[in-house]
Amino acid sequence: MEPTHLFELVIAMFLAIIALHYVAHRLGLPPSVALLTGGALLAFVPGLPAISVDPELVLVIFLPPLLMDGAWAIALARLRRHMIGIASLAVGAVLFTCAVVAVVAHLIFPSLPWAACAALGAIVAPPDAVSARAVLERVRLPRRLQILLEGESLLNDASGLVLFRFAVAAVATGAFSAGEAVGSFFVLALGGAVVGVVVGTAWVKLVRRLGDEYLIIAATVLLAWISYLLGELLHVSGVIATVTTGLIASWHQHTVFSAATRMRGTSFWTVMIFLMEASVFTLIGLSLRDVVERGGGLTTVIATMGLPMLAILVTLVVARFAWVFASDLIIKFCAALGVTRVQPLGAGGATVLSWAGVRGVITLALALSLPEGFPGRDFILVTSFAVILGTVLVQGTTLGRVIAWARLVETETERARLTMSQAEVAMAQAQLGTVQSLAYDGEGKLIHPQLLDRYQRRATVIVDYAERTEHYKPVLHAHFDVVLEAVATGRRELIRLHRAGDIDDETLDELERDLDLEELSAISAKA
């Protein structure tokens, strides 16, 4: 394919993404479902060239920024608090699922080597970070479940990759050592964490020296690929390196970013991640044609592999349910003995956690990276795609209903000590203290009376609001509705002045930015 045609295809894919997102929004479907289905249908459009996905390129291009985005947005304090539970899912559940799938695959195809069955297990075992984000952004979960799923999706790729590489090596050499695999995993994870700390620390020091907000945004965007590629270059876990770097950058961005850098950088990053996430699901759908052709055609695939694929998919779901419910029973037993203060999730929480294991880009990329001549390669490829399709279409579309059925409630231990109103009181009082100390000159003369009066009234109003929030909410909403109408009127007048030639472009941009900030502030206050 010529470069210009490839570029035209990419632009067409982005246009399709916008259209499919709009359709998903209108139909109330998860965008991932529309993108995956739309991509699969486009794959069979006559005249459209076959899309062959390079798995290594997909991992390098898409995985680092998506992992970085997940690490950037995760609540670090809750991540530390629930690290044991996250490790249980990211490592324990992946190992258990891999083993169960390998056993079932060997029962279905006794001639398939154990190492090849383990490779299939490693490919389909880890839920995907991209798929999990696409599902979770449309549902509301208690904080504990949210952090367990987010943390799992960030870290389990490392487990799956290590298992996969050992399984492929075992097929090639005919030997496998469980002890060596476990030791290698911890070495790779520790090495990746060290690389992440080094890159993250270097980024903090660099950002503090750059000064220019566009250079800072560019350096931050490149950060994900730098940490991932450096980790892979040093033969440690690029996944862990990227996640660690993201956690460090997220922690320090509040102190090293200016307000302008944060607003502009967030806008750019959000659009980039949106396009990347959408492209991943579309590419997965477009690769269906290639996968089906490898399996001998759609009719052949369904006739010869339909039941085995369904068996593997059911095994995946059952294995995750078994691990989550068994872990919850152990927690319940330990809590009854007073060994731990962690409370069990309960049947509803465990069901939601079990049902949220959606597979995606990692599964497809690992399956496509299998070498030619690998035992059972066609079956593994088709099964991997079926697992992605099944989990996204079935679990992704029904997770909201499962959450509604579970009637989950937030536990007291997961609630923050202060509400938003109480935090605003603390912030307003701290600001008032600073203004009070600077409102007088060296001789004790008041030189900023209006500023001091403004902050005193603001602190008084916020304290009163925090004490009677429910009483003030309707009035507050009405207040900011008026503010938003005033902003809209001001914007119309500003545009009229510009169109009439009364003000230049610089004046328009400056005053429009002020109106934008006022509008965002009013919308945030209403939320």
| pTM recorded for the entire structure | 0.79
Task: Indicate the pLDDT class of residue 475, thresholds 50, 70 and 90.
Answer: confident
Answer yes or no: are the C-beta atoms of 174 and 139 closer than 8 Å: no
Q: Strand (E) positions, 441-521?
A: none
- How many other C-beta atoms can be found within 10 angstroms of the C-beta atom of residue 48? 13
What pLDDT is attached to residue 131?
Answer: 63
Percentage of residues of the chain with pLDDT beyond 70: 93
The pair of three-digit structure tokens given for residue 176, joined into one six-digit string:
């496998």
What is the rounded CA–CA span in Å between residue 395 and residue 131? 11
Give the residue among 192, 208, 190 at the shortest CA–CA distance from 249: 208
Between CA 501 and CA 513 the distance in angstroms is 19
- Is pLDDT above 90 for 207? yes
| Measured CA angle at 389 (ends 318, 19), to 5 deg | 140
Weakest-pLDDT range from 99-108, 118-127, 285-294, 324-333: 285-294
| Position 213, amino acid | E
243 or 462, which is more confident? 243
Q: Are 72 and 319 in contact (CB under 8 A)?
A: no
Q: What's the rounded Cα separation, in Å, for the pair 277 and 254?
A: 25
Tokens of 134: 């696409």
Q: What is the pLDDT of the chain when averaged over all its residues? A: 84
Q: What is the mean pLDDT of residues 493-517?
A: 85
CB atoms inside a 10 Å sphere around CB 328: 20
- Distance CA(177)–CA(160), nearest Å, equals 16
Instruction: Tell me: pLDDT of 293 over 80.
Output: no
Bridge partners, residue 446, by sequence: 440
Q: What are phi and psi of 405, to 5 degrees?
A: -65, -40
- pLDDT value, residue 429: 84
Cα 233 from Cα 217, distance rounded (Å): 25
Q: Closest by alpha carbon to 358, among 324, 319, 317?
A: 317
pLDDT at 176 over 70: no
Tens-digit pLDDT profile for residues 131-149: 666 666 666 778 888 888 8
**Residue-level pLDDT at 79:** 84
| 452 conformational bin, left if phi > 0, alpha if psi -120 to 50, beta if neither | alpha
Cβ atoms of 229 and 272 closer than 8 Å: no
Q: pLDDT per residue over 9-47, tens digit each?
A: 889 889 989 999 898 888 877 787 888 888 888 877 777
Closest residue by Cα to residue 160 from 137, 134, 129: 129
d(CA 474, CA 470): 8
Question: For the residues 364-391, what does the mean pLDDT come to?
Answer: 84
Compute the C-alpha angle 74/79/82, nearest 5°.
Answer: 145
pLDDT above 90: residue 476: no
Q: Give the burial string for 153-189 (b: 16+ CB within 10 Å, else e).
A: bbbbbbbbbbbbbbbbebbeeeeeeeeebeeebeebb
pLDDT tens digits, one per residue of 230-254: 999 999 989 899 999 999 998 888 8
Least confident of 229-238, 325-334, 403-412: 403-412
pLDDT in tens, 263-275: 888 889 989 988 8
Half-sphere exposure of 252 (CA within 13 A, CB side): 18
Contacts of residue 321, Cβ cutoff 8 Å, sequence gap at least 6: 351, 354
Average pLDDT of 381-392?
A: 87
Please state the rounded mean pLDDT for residues 197-203: 96
Which whole number is the average pLDDT over 520-525?
80
pLDDT of res. 225? 96
Residue 200, pLDDT > 90, answer: yes
What are 219's two structure tokens?
A: 């350096």
How many whole angstroms from its chain centre is CA 467? 36
Q: What is the token pair recorded at 340?
A: 């731990």
Structure tokens at 4: 């210009």
Is the pLDDT reported for residue 435 higher than 60? yes
Q: Give me the percent of the chain exceeding a pLDDT of 90.
A: 19
Q: Which residue has the higher pLDDT, 64 or 157?
A: 64
CA–CA gap between residue 400 and residue 418 (Å, rounded): 29
- pLDDT for the residue 135: 65
